[in-house]
Structures are given as C-alpha cells and as structure tokens.
Copies of this chain bind each other. A is one copy, B any other.
Amino acid sequence: MTKAEHPRASGRSPRGGPPAWRGVVWPLLISAVALGALIAVLGFGLGTPEDLPGSASPDAATGGGGTHPSETILRVTCALAAVAAVAALGGRLARRLGQPPVIGEIAAGLLLGPSALAGLVPASTEVFFPESARPLLSLLAQVGLILFMFAVGSEFDVAELRRSGRVVGVVSQASMVVPFVLGALSALVVYREFAADGIGFIPFAIFLGTAMSITAFPVLARIVQESGLARRPLGTMAMACAAACDVIAWCTLALAMAVAGSGGPWGAVGTVLLAAAVTVVVLRVGRPLVRAAERWADRAQVPVAARVVFLLLLAFSLARLTDVMGVHAIFGAFLAGLLVPHRPGNRMTAVQTGIDSLNRKLLLPLFFVTVGMTVDLTAVTGRAGLLLAGVLVLVVAVVGKLAGTAVTARSAGLPWRTSLGLGVLLNARGVTEIVVLRAGLEAGLINQNAFTVLVVMAVVTTVMTGPALDLLKLSHRRTSAAPGAETASPVTGEAKEKELV
C-alpha cells in the first residue's frame, strides 16, 4: 500500500498541523495523571488485595458498605489506560526510529518491568500493574493474547500459501529446519542454565529449536509493507515463507507442549494425534459451518453485539479446548481465526477489525506488560554463564535463520542479494516469538532467565531487520510512493492504521 492511498497514516495530520501521535499520547497521559491525582487525594490508593471483586456478589449486597466494586473497576481502568498510554508512546517513538511500532510497545512493557522502572521505582508497579487489580489485569492480558492470536489466524492466508511455488516450499522448510536443528543442538549447551526444573531434555530441545526458528508473520508483513516490498517478488516470497514457517512452528511448539505436559511418550503421541484430529475437524467441519452462519447472519441482519459475542465465544471456546488438551490456548485462538478469515467488505470482518483494533491498543499492551514484569535483565547481566548462553542463543538464532535461508534460496536459483534479503526478513521474530516464549514459560519448559534471554533475542532480531534491509539497499520506500505524495521522512510510519469508524 502506498502513501497516497493512506494519507492519514503519514504520521502528520493532512492539514500540516501538529503530528498525529500527539493525539494518541497526550489525552491518555493527561487524563491518567489528572485522575491519578484525583484518586490519590481521595485516599483511593490503599485497598487490600483480598476484597477484590467478591464484594459485589448479590448475597453480600444486603450487607451494605464494606467493599466497593467501583474501586476495582476504576483501578483496572486506570491501569489499563496507563499501560495503553505508555504502549502508544513506545509505538510512536519506535515508528519515529524507523522500527515497527510493536517493538516500541514491547519495549515499553519491558521498561515498566523490574529491568528498568519497577527496579528503580518499585512504587510504579502500583500504577501500571497494581497488586489488588492484578488477577483481573492478568485475565485481561490473557484475553488480549487470545484475541491477538485470533486476529493473526483471521489474517492468515491459506490460499496464498497453496499458490506459492517450489522455491517457497524449499526455502521455507530450510529456513525452518536449519535454525531448528541448530537450536536443538544448542540446547545441549544451555539445558542446565535455561531448562525449568524437572523438565526433560527432549521437550526442552524441541522448544528451543522452535524458539530459534520462529518468524513473526504479522511483524514481517508490516515490515514488508513499510519498506515498499509488498508488490515485489521478494516481499511476497518472504510472506509466503513466513506463513509456511508459522504453520510448522506452531506444530513443533504443540509437540513440545504435548511431550512436556503428558508425562510420557504415549501421552505425547495421544495429545499430538488429538490435536491433529481436532485441527482437521475444526477446519473441515467448522469452516463451512461458520461460513453458513455468517451468510445467514448477513441475511438476517444480526446486530453487532450478537456478532461480537459470537466471535468471542468462538475464540475463547477453541482456546479453552486446546488448553484442556494440553497444548496452549493460543493454538485454539489461532484455529478460531482460521475459521473466520478476513474478507474485504464483509460485515463480520468489519466487526473483527473493530475488536482487533481496540484489542491491539488496549488489551495487548497489558500482555506486553505481563511479559515485561517477568523479564528481569538485571538478573541476567550479573552472571557470566547466563550472558554467554545469551550470546550463544542470539548468534545461533541469527546465523541459523539468516544464513540457512540465504544459502538455500541462493542454491534454489535466486540472486545473492535477494537471498540475503529473504534471510534478513525471515529473521524478524517479533510478537510471535514473545507469545511462544510466554507459552513455554507458562508450560514450565524454560525458566525465567531463559525467558529473559530469549525475549532479548526476539527484540534484537526484529530491530535489526530494518537497518539490515537498508544496508542491502533492498528498502524501496521512496520508489513505491505514488507520484504526488509528499516526501515525508521514511521513518514516520506508513503502516496502515486500523481504526474503528
């Protein structure tokens, strides 16, 4: 998409007024600060964690007074607003630096954690992740994650994957296998440092291999778009490879979860077979059913609220299903997304886009903050062994993905520069990696230190993509802009802004 098609997305308002990012950040910050002051004056800050939402039960209602649901509601909303404001600020800053906004949002989450702000000013945690509202905020972060994976699934283009040719098939497999094998081998070295207590070597190695071979499809898509590669062979090829990688990576991640969770090889086999069967049934049976329901809903003019409920139930129930099966809730959410693919002009897609837009701005940042709260860089920097392991992981990840992809692409007949470009693009790991790491941490596959090191790896590999493309002179920002478009700085984001009307 060129700039000319998205005049509003140029980072400046059309009339040449103040930059549009002010519009996002300041009202939230101002209102958060103003309300924070108001609340502090009212002595609102010092509630007990126990009396969270339980007080609102109808049985207790007649008791009168005591605890206040209005306090919980306000607390959660304030934390949500503060987190969203900081994430928006981070996203805008990242865009100014020529990085995808999501990097800034993740960085904002990390900076709020014990690595920076919470380490320096422990009281800040009470603003961004208050103790008493934490259960509810964590739940909302989980909702944000599920809805994000739901959107990723919706945007996933199965048809395009089928259309892509032999080169894509070979390259994507190699760009998956090389880092996977290297990652699994490096597990031999870092097992003692990085594996969670009581986890076997096999699931740990599968997980580490998966973590190394992830490609962030959503972030990649945005980078491809922003660097003007969307309509060039390199761009479409990278997207197709990334999609194929995504599918394989989800499968190996599910495998690692199944092996770790089922306490035995037969249990793992059973879980994998069950997961495969559920996936096939959901896609074969569910897709036409959902499509029929969708058509019927259009005919019967089903209102928005019912559509919202339908989509939420679909995403949450499949997420719950895969969670119960012993693979992570994210798989079910992704599967649910495959059932409701985005269609331009479709009414259901409009509702989905609206949910996704609000989710990315409000709930997903909460997920980044929960990640940031778990990442503690200060715990890693002090220990030489961990640092070395971290460097090893980073080198293996970059070399495995970048070199593995580039060499395969070159031997499949692509020119060197394009092959390297493909490697650079597929090396971006972005949010997908963070989601996978968080799932591994929750499933007890890796420990906190491994999580921290791997999150850093994810951020570094994503951040290096833009500059590396510039270095290879593969970025086509200016040439892709339609004639007549203002010659704005390439770093002010040209990404499409998803917006509710």
Listed in ascending order, the chain A residues whose CB lies under 8 Å from chain B are 8, 13, 17-18, 20, 22-24, 26-28, 31-32, 35, 38-39, 42, 44, 52-58, 61-65, 68-74, 77-78, 80-81, 84, 88, 134-136, 138-139, 141-143, 146, 196, 261, 293, 296-297, 299-306, 308-310, 312-314, 316-317, 319-321, 323-324, 329, 350, 354, 357-358, 361-362, 370, 373-374, 438, 441-444, 447-448, 497, 499-501
Hey, which chain B residues are within 8 Å of A61, CB to CB? Answer: 370, 374, 438, 441-442
A13 lies within 8 A of B301 (CB): yes
Hey, which chain B residues are within 8 Å of A501, CB to CB? Answer: 304, 350, 501
B370 lies within 8 A of A58 (CB): yes
Q: Which residue of B31, B64, B304, B323 is within 8 Å of A499 (Cβ)? A: B304
B317 lies within 8 A of A138 (CB): no
Hey, which chain B residues are within 8 Å of A69, CB to CB? Answer: 138-139, 142
A321 lies within 8 A of B52 (CB): no
Report the nearest B residue to A129, measured CB to CB: B58
Q: Which residue of B62, B134, B196 is within 8 Å of A196 (Cβ)? A: B62
Expressed in whole angstroms, the Cα–Cα distance for A143 and B302 within the complex equals 25
Tell me how far the C-beta of A43 lies from the nearest C-beta in chain B, rounded to whole angstroms.
Answer: 8
Tell me how far the C-beta of A173 lies from the nearest C-beta in chain B, rounded to whole angstroms.
Answer: 31
B70 lies within 8 A of A316 (CB): yes
Q: Which residue of B56, B68, B143, B299 is within 8 Å of A73 (Cβ)? A: B143
Q: Which residue of B56, B73, B319 is within 8 Å of A74 (Cβ)? A: B319
Hey, which chain B residues are within 8 Å of A438, CB to CB? Answer: 61
Given contacts A35-B313, A53-B135, contact A324 B58 (CB under 8 A): no
Tell me how far the C-beta of A338 lies from the nearest C-beta in chain B, rounded to whole angstroms.
Answer: 18
Q: Which residue of B35, B64, B314, B361 is within 8 Å of A305 (Cβ)? A: B361
Hey, which chain B residues are within 8 Å of A8, CB to CB? Answer: 301
Hey, which chain B residues are within 8 Å of A136, CB to CB? Answer: 53, 136, 139
B320 lies within 8 A of A70 (CB): yes
Q: Show 12 residue pairs from A and B whose CB-CB distance is below 8 angstroms, ordered by the A residue.
A: A24-B303, A26-B300, A58-B138, A58-B370, A58-B373, A62-B447, A64-B196, A68-B323, A70-B319, A73-B143, A73-B146, A74-B319
Expressed in whole angstroms, the Cα–Cα distance for A35 and B286 within the complex equals 13
A38-B321, A61-B438, A308-B358 are known contacts; what are 7 more A-B pairs with Cβ within 8 Å? A58-B370, A58-B373, A63-B444, A73-B139, A77-B309, A84-B305, A84-B309
Q: Which residue of B56, B134, B297, B319 is within 8 Å of A142 (Cβ)? A: B56
Expressed in whole angstroms, the Cα–Cα distance for A374 and B370 within the complex equals 37
B70 lies within 8 A of A146 (CB): yes
Hey, which chain B residues are within 8 Å of A309, CB to CB? Answer: 28, 31, 77, 80-81, 84, 362
Expressed in whole angstroms, the Cα–Cα distance for A467 and B9 within the complex equals 55
- Best-surrounded residue of A13, A61, A501 (most CB of chain B within 10 A): A61
Tell me how far the C-beta of A126 lies from the nearest C-beta in chain B, rounded to whole angstroms.
Answer: 15
Hey, which chain B residues are within 8 Å of A13, CB to CB? Answer: 300-301
- Best-surrounded residue of A32, A321, A499 (most CB of chain B within 10 A): A321
Report the nearest B residue to A25, measured CB to CB: B306
Report the nearest B residue to A448, measured CB to CB: B62
A320 lies within 8 A of B64 (CB): no
Hey, which chain B residues are within 8 Å of A297, CB to CB? Answer: 23, 27
B135 lies within 8 A of A65 (CB): no
Expressed in whole angstroms, the Cα–Cα distance for A316 and B26 within the complex equals 20
Hey, which chain B residues are within 8 Å of A305, CB to CB? Answer: 84, 357-358, 361-362, 500
Q: Which residue of B53, B308, B319 is within 8 Å of A138 (Cβ)? A: B53
Q: Which residue of B56, B142, B304, B314 is within 8 Å of A358 (Cβ)? A: B304
B313 lies within 8 A of A31 (CB): yes
A324 lies within 8 A of B441 (CB): no
Expressed in whole angstroms, the Cα–Cα distance for A441 and B61 within the complex equals 7
B62 lies within 8 A of A441 (CB): yes
Tell me how far the C-beta of A161 lies from the nearest C-beta in chain B, rounded to whole angstroms.
Answer: 28
Expressed in whole angstroms, the Cα–Cα distance for A142 and B84 within the complex equals 23
Given contacts A299-B17, A374-B61, A444-B64, contact A500 B56 (CB under 8 A): no
A300 lies within 8 A of B139 (CB): no
B57 lies within 8 A of A135 (CB): yes
Q: Which residue of B70, B361, B442 is within 8 Å of A64 (Cβ)? A: B442
Report the nearest B residue to A113, measured CB to CB: B58
Hey, which chain B residues are within 8 Å of A53, CB to CB? Answer: 135-136, 138-139
